């Protein structure tokens, strides 16, 4: 039964990947959409070496420092998840760059295809 469960799960994952309408999983798209909405209230200031200071909506209170080259933010959310936080999204938007290129490869369709590509075949049992 364990083998059958694994066979069915792998086949299901391969089918799910075919329904992705973007290059990342749909649950990551939802997370990014929420962060994009919240990043609109932030003010972005470009600094040296590609670092950005992100201020609150009043533009007087610094809330984060983002380094797009290193793909890090001092809020640590992006560092831990591989998904750009609202501060990083604000900086990415300021540079007019593609948000999806900053999402970790683990969440991308091509990676999931590689993970689930191998097929586990059933086995024929001989009866005595």
Q: What is the domain partition of the chain in residue ranges?
A: 37-109
Task: Specify whether the backbone of 123 is left (phi greater than 0), alpha (psi in -120 to 50) or beta.
Answer: beta
Residue 123 has pLDDT above 80, yes or no: no
pLDDT band at residue 44 using 50, 70 and 90 as cut-offs: very high
Q: Could you tell me the two tokens for 29? A: 């798209």
In terms of pLDDT, which residue wins out, 107 or 57? 107
Mean pLDDT of 73-79: 95
Read off the pTM. 0.79
Share the mean pLDDT of the chain. Answer: 88
């Amino acid at each position: 039964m364990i083998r059958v469960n694994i066979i069915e799960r792998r086949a299901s994952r391969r089918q799910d990947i075919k329904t992705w309408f973007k290059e990342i999983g749909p649950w990551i798209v939802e997370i990014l959409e929420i962060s994009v909405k919240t990043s609109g209230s932030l003010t972005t200031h470009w600094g040296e070496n590609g670092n950005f200071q992100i201020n609150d909506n009043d533009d007087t209170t610094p809330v984060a420092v983002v380094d797009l080259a290193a793909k890090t933010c001092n809020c640590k959310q992006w560092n831990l998840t591989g998904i750009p936080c609202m501060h990083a999204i604000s900086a990415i938007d300021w540079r007019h760059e593609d948000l999806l290129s900053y999402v970790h490869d683990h969440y991308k369709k091509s990676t999931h295809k590689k993970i689930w590509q191998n097929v586990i075949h059933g086995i024929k049992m001989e009866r005595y």
